[in-house]
A = this chain, B = another copy of it.
Amino acid sequence: MSIREILKAHPQPIPDDLDVRIRCIEACSECAAVCTSCADADLGESGLDELVRCIGLCLDCADMCDATRRIVTRLTESDVNVVRAAVEACLVTCRASREECERHAHHHEHCRICAEVCLRCEQACADLLGSLA
């Protein structure tokens, strides 16, 4: 995907953790898209009342993933405390969304997919936090 290609063309010194950073950017990108779709799929289900918490948490997750993706992408004179705080918040948000989607995974395939994608994003965030330390 082009995000790797463009980060390699960046004028600043390439950070040692470029690979782990790219995985975090791609995971946030995927998770934002999938959570937006899962909230929308919930709205199309009958038995909507039981999915209210799932919708809210998926909307939160899409918002935090989009903000975090942008912050992690910026390399020019970036602030490590800002990056760390965003990635930590993203991890917490993905976990909450994943745990709720798991509860519906047996009934709704979109929740099963979403839980899987949230878990991948949690792991990518944890890996980036490890490399920032």
Chain A positions within 8 Å of B, measured between CB atoms, are 1-3, 5-7, 9-12, 25, 29-30, 33-34, 36-38, 40-41, 43-45, 48-49, 52-53, 55-57, 59-60, 62-64, 66-67, 69-71, 73-79, 81-82, 85-86, 88-89, 92-93, 96, 108-110, 113-114, 116-117
Complex alpha-carbon distance, A88 and B40, angstroms: 22
| Closest 5 A/B residue pairs (Cβ) | A67-B67, A9-B109, A89-B89, A85-B92, A85-B89
Evaluate contact between A113 and B64: CB separation under 8 angstroms: no
For A43, the closest partner residue in chain B by CB is B76
Count of chain copies = 4
Residues of B within 8 Å of A70, CB to CB, are 36, 59-60, 62-63
Query: Is A67 within 8 A of B75, CB to CB?
Result: no
